[in-house]
Amino acid sequence: MRIILLGAPGAGKGTQAQSLTKKYGIPQISTGDMLRAAIKAGTDMGKMAKAAMDAGQLVTDEIIIGLVKDRILEDDCKNGYLLDGFPRTLPQADAVTNAGIEIDAVIEIDVADSVIVKRMSGRRAHLASGRTYHLEYNPPKVAGKDDETGEELVQRPDDKEDVVIDRLKVYHELTQPLIGYYKEKSNTVSTLIYITVDGTAHITDVEAAITAKLG
C-alpha cells in the first residue's frame, strides 16, 4: 500500500499516519527525516542537499525526489510506504509521477479552516513533559496549570491563531491544488484511488472510514 496523505495543518494527518503505517506494516517517509539521514550517511544526494543548505538555499525538488527514490528501494518499503508532507506542490506531484514513484491511494482528510483554527489555537502544552491539553476538548483540572506538576501551561508559537491562519493561507495556495490534481488522476489511472474522509469525526471513526474505503 503506497499512500499520500493530504489535508491542512491540524487536520489530523499525523494521527492517521500512525494508524495506517501500523495496519499495513509500512514506513512513514518524512522528507525531513530523509534529508537528515542522507546528510549523516554522506550519500550523493545527502552531499548535494548539504551543499544547498550550507549555501543558505532551498533543497531542490530534484534532490528531494532523488532521496525519495533511494528511500523506497530499502527493505522496509517492500510492502509500501506512506509519504509524509510530500508532495506539497503541483511541480513536486508532477516530479513524483515523472520519476515513476508509484502511488496506490491518496487520502484527503477534510476539515474546515474554522475548525482547524479552533483546534490548534486552543492547544496548551507542558513543555517539560510533552503533555498537551485543549481549552475546550481536553482542559486541565486547573485552568492554565499542568495536571501533574501544577506548572504553567504555554501556547506554542505555531498554535497562535494568527500563525495558524497564515499556515492555512500557505496550504491553500501551494498544497490544496493537489486535491484536484489527484482526483483527476484517479479518474484516468485505474490503479489509483482517491479517498476523502471527514476529519471532524472521532479519530476512530476517521480511521474506520479510511480502512473501509481502502478495502
> Cβ(17)–Cβ(126) under 8 Å?
no
Q: Establish whether 13 is a catalytic residue.
A: yes
Q: Establish whether 123 is a catalytic residue.
A: yes
> Cβ(174)–Cβ(182) under 8 Å?
no
**Sign of dihedral through CA atoms 47, 48, 49, 55?**
positive
Catalytic site residue from 2, 71, 119, 123:
123
Q: Establish whether 88 is a catalytic residue.
A: yes
Catalytic site residue from 78, 141, 156, 169:
156
Backbone angles phi, psi at 160, to 5 degrees: -65, 140
Catalytic site residue from 88, 145, 185, 213:
88
Catalytic site residue from 50, 167, 185, 213:
167
Report the run of H or E that residue 82 belongs to, with start and end.
strand 81-84
Q: Establish whether 167 is a catalytic residue.
A: yes
Cell 498537551, residue located: 132
What is the set of active-site residues? 13, 88, 123, 156, 167
